[in-house]
Amino acid sequence: MSFDELLFQLDSAASLSAKKRMVREFAARQPSPIVEDNSVTFFYVSEDARDVALEGDWTHWQPTAPMTYLPDTPLWYRVERFPREARLEYRIVVNGTRRLLDPGNPRTAPSGFGLHSELAMPDYHAPREVSDQGRIARGAVEQHWMTSKALNDRRTFWVWLPPHFNAQKPHPVAYFNDGGDYLRLADLPRLLDYLVEWGRIPPLIAVLAKPNDRVKEYARNNQYVRFLVDELVPWVDGLYPTRDAPAARAIIGASYGGLCAAHVARRRPNVFGLVGGQSGYYSYQNDALLRDYAAAQNLGIRFHLVVGSFETDARGNGKPESDLVAAQRRFAELLRGKGYDVACAEYPEGHQWGFWRAHVGDALRFFWGC
């Protein structure tokens, strides 16, 4: 039975109990949401809800997509239209305060705020390193700590070594801001295992640095630059076989971490010659980063930038600074005008780890692809 057929039958049902039974039988058989071409029907069944809404990537995580109540039934529903290539995350909000996973949707995605329900439209295809769950050789993850003089505190970081690690061969190194989240929410070690094992990228070393106060440290903080460049990089280079050249050293980050990645390379292009920006907050302080790059000659840095087309109000405050799509476009235009090598793309997704996870491989292939 289609959703339209359900509505038709409910309209002619003989009793309230029959309507309730039909709705519950439909919900037990039909996963939610229902996707037909680019049309998506969300539905939720509740006997006692006063109001129900959706919040998700397309509402900038505000409960501004109210669901329609069908009188004399426990059925709430809403129809949306999305690009056929979209991947979006959402929750159901009941009575304005209860935020729930969609009970009819088995697909979930981890986020920094718990699980979200996930919607993959018909033409969305996850990359092989995400979708292929076959057995592969695994690298090693080592946890380390150091006391930073630049930041005057203790820092935690992890080092990933590739499968079949060759300690006699110098490796390129990728540094990741928000290292704990790339480890936990993006399952970065497994992605790297797959990319190396299947020859998509050469064997490399990854350093996953965990922030203590990410907003303070990543907001164009030169003390954090000194920690990375003068303390962490020499420590890694002293312990592991690395290639000591800007073209062999990348810094990658998402959101504030993307802002930080571009700022670190701008301050020390002789150390970091590669920048991976995922939904970077380049508009921070009214495009201060862009003005910084505009004031310098071409520094020889290569950039891989991605953003989700639903990230036009990533901070949910309606301010121009929250439009990460426009910010990336301005940044890419500036860089290209100065002759930088820039790969720049937009995808119909939101400000989520599921999005960033899917495009780590793109950045590494752009930097060092086999």
Instruction: Give per-residue pLDDT as tens, 70-83.
Output: 999 999 999 999 99
Do 80 and 186 share a structural domain?
no
> Which residues on adjacent β-strands are paired with residue 92?
54, 100
Do 172 and 74 share a structural domain?
no
**What's 210's DSSP letter?**
P
Domain boundary, last residue among 53, 88, 120: 120
Rounded Cα distance between 338 and 332, Å, is 10
Cis status of the peptide bond prior to 211, with omega within 30 of 0:
no
Question: Which of residues 5 and 175 earns the better pLDDT score?
Answer: 175
Share of the chain above pLDDT 70, in %: 100
Rounded Cα distance between 223 and 68, Å, is 52
Domain boundary, last residue among 120, 138, 163: 120
Q: What is the mean pLDDT of residues 45-59?
A: 96
Q: What is the mean pLDDT of residues 307-325?
A: 91
Radius of gyration of the CA atoms of the chain, in A: 23
Find out whether 192 and 199 touch, Cβ atoms under 8 Å.
Answer: no
pLDDT digits (tens, 9 = 90+) for 165-216: 999 999 999 999 999 999 999 999 999 999 999 999 999 999 999 999 999 9
Q: What is the CATH number of the domain that holds 35?
A: 2.60.40.10
Q: How far is CA 59 from the centre of its chain?
A: 17
Do 341 and 246 share a structural domain?
yes
> Mean pLDDT across the chain, nearest whole number?
96
The predicted structure's pLDDT at residue 370: 72
The predicted structure's pLDDT at residue 1: 75
User: Per residue, what are the HEC states of 254-301?
Assistant: ECHHHHHHHHHHHHCCCCCCEEEEECCCCCHHHHHHHHHHHCCCCCCC
Angle, CA 228 vertex, CA 225 and CA 351 arms, to 5°: 75
Domain count, the chain: 2
Best CA proximity match to 212, nearest among 263, 153, 143: 153
The band of 62, judged by pLDDT with boundaries at 50, 70 and 90, is very high
The predicted structure's pLDDT at residue 253: 98
Q: Say whether pLDDT at 344 is over 80.
A: yes
Q: What is the mean pLDDT of residues 121-148?
A: 95
pLDDT digits (tens, 9 = 90+) for 105-130: 999 999 999 999 999 999 999 999 99
Q: What is the mean pLDDT of residues 271-297?
A: 97
Do 337 and 222 share a structural domain?
yes
The predicted structure's pLDDT at residue 218: 98
Q: Say whether pLDDT at 13 is over 90.
A: no
H helices then E strands: how many in the chain? 12, 18
**What's 174's DSSP letter?**
E
Question: Which of residues 12 and 87 earns the better pLDDT score?
Answer: 87
Residue indicated by tokens 């996707």: 35
CB-based burial, 146-165: b 16+ in 10 Å, e otherwise: eebebbeeebebbbbbbeeb
For 307, counting Cβ atoms within 10 Å of its Cβ (0-12 exposed, 13-18 middle, 19+ buried), the class is buried
Neighbours of 79 (CB within 10 A): 15
Do 313 and 180 share a structural domain?
yes
Do 73 and 147 share a structural domain?
no
Neighbours of 16 (CB within 10 A): 10
Do 79 and 132 share a structural domain?
no
The predicted structure's pLDDT at residue 369: 87
In terms of residue numbers, what domain contains 87? Answer: 3-120
Do 337 and 311 share a structural domain?
yes
Tell if the pTM clears 0.85, that is, is over it: yes
pLDDT digits (tens, 9 = 90+) for 261-274: 999 999 999 999 99
Q: What is the CATH number of the domain that holds 209?
A: 3.40.50.1820
3 state DSSP class of 242: strand
